[in-house]
Amino acid sequence: MKITSFNPSIITKDLESVVSVFEALGFEKKHNPTGTSALGNEYVSYRMTDANGFHVDVSRSSAPREQDLTTIRMNVDDFDEAYEFLTARGFTNPQSKAVTDTGSAKACILYSPSGFGINLIQHIKNHD
Average pLDDT in the 68-89 region? 96
Q: What is the pLDDT of residue 126?
A: 66
Asked whether the predicted pLDDT for residue 125 surpasses 80, the reply is no
Instruction: Please list, in sequence order, all residues whose beta carbon lies within 8 angstroms of the beta carbon of residue 47, skipping any fewer than 6 positions away.
Output: 29, 30, 31, 32, 33, 55, 57
Q: Which of 122, 102, 125, 109 is nearest to 34 (CA)?
A: 102
- 97 pLDDT band, cuts 50/70/90, is confident
Return the top range by mean pLDDT from 59-63, 85-89, 104-108: 85-89
The CA-atom distances, in angstroms, between 108 and each of 43, 55, 128 are 13, 19, 26
Average pLDDT in the 60-73 region? 91
Average pLDDT of the chain to the nearest whole number = 92
